[in-house]
Homo-oligomer: A and B are copies of this chain.
Amino acid sequence: MKYISEFHEGDRLRDIYLCKNVTSAMTKNGKPYLNIILQDKTGTVDAKVWDPTDPGIDDFEKLDYVEITGEVTSFNGALQVNAKRVRKATEGEYSQGDYLPVSPRDNDEMYAEVLEVVKSIQNPYYHRLMEMLFVEDKEFIAKFRQSSAAKAVHHGYIGGLMEHTLSVTHLCQYFCKAYPILKYDLLITAAMCHDIAKTKELSAFPENDYTDEGQLLGHIVMGAQMVAQLAAQIDGFPPILLQELQHCILAHHGKYEYGSPKLPALVEAIALNFADDTDAKMEIFRELLEKNPGNYGWLGFNKMLDSNVHATMGDLQ
């Protein structure tokens, strides 16, 4: 397929793209037309359908995949597609990975790691809770494997939630070796569950945006509720085990101003907060460098890192 980043004025197109948005408008002369934003994994481009009533123009909606037949033109210095025909594509004709950002790590491989972690939990109650969620709940697993870890900030791609969850968990496993005061079962269960409600706070790709529930309640409180609902289905789940797990989830942002309703009171909650924060910041920096290939200088102010940041030069100079 021809990727959007490679379009030139004058190109003729016949390929499938994701319709990121579509709105109807009116020319100065009162003629209706369609404004479309097409997307693939390399970028987006504006497209126009000047004759929406033409029989070659299928009915289609925002977030449909559509085959566009047309020509690349230039308007006010920017490229624009003049779409002569628009056909709604059917599943199977296209591969989501060509249109949406995807984790660099293999999805099946990551899920196999998830299962390994579940197995490593010895406390029967935490182990059972993890099994119910990560091994048995097919609907959750499907969402968990597809979700991003954020709308935009970091790991904002398919598989990003699982990748971030594993990275945080592995760091917590290192912590358990380095600091024997940490209780492995609590910390690792909490690490695996800390962001599970991101599957509800954000809608699925390609939308990947905040849901109403997400905005009103937030993934921190929703995550604590999810583990409570699981524990309620396990006979004899000791309340203190649930409370300590919920506490780690509630406190994982570390500070009130980041939306945690409780400050970390358990040493495992402190460790989880560090692991989560470290992994997020490392990934933010990685994505920043990825967007500035070959750069060995100042990358400007980054809001999430709250600093002017710089690609390390080492002895290249």
CB distance from A33 to the nearest CB of B (A): 15
Instruction: With A221-B246, A221-B261, A238-B315 given, name 11 new contacts (CB 8 A).
Output: A28-B74, A181-B286, A185-B314, A215-B308, A216-B262, A218-B261, A238-B317, A256-B259, A263-B308, A265-B309, A268-B312
- Tell me the A residues contacting B by CB distance below 8 Å: 28, 74, 123, 125, 167, 170-171, 174-175, 178-179, 181-183, 185-186, 212-213, 215-218, 220-221, 224-225, 228, 238-241, 243-244, 246-247, 250, 256-268, 270-271, 274, 277-278, 281-282, 285-286, 289, 297-298, 305-310, 312-315, 317
**Pairwise interchain contact A212-B309, C-beta atoms closer than 8 A:** no
Q: Is the interface of A mostly helix, strand, loop or mixed?
A: helix
CB distance from A7 to the nearest CB of B (A): 15
**Pairwise interchain contact A243-B265, C-beta atoms closer than 8 A:** no
* Complex Cα spacing A178 to B175, Å: 13
**Pairwise interchain contact A314-B263, C-beta atoms closer than 8 A:** no
**Pairwise interchain contact B174-A310, C-beta atoms closer than 8 A:** no
**Pairwise interchain contact B220-A312, C-beta atoms closer than 8 A:** no
Give 16 CB contacts A-B under 8 Å.
A174-B174, A212-B310, A215-B265, A217-B247, A221-B221, A225-B228, A241-B314, A241-B315, A256-B259, A259-B261, A260-B261, A266-B309, A266-B312, A267-B285, A267-B309, A268-B312
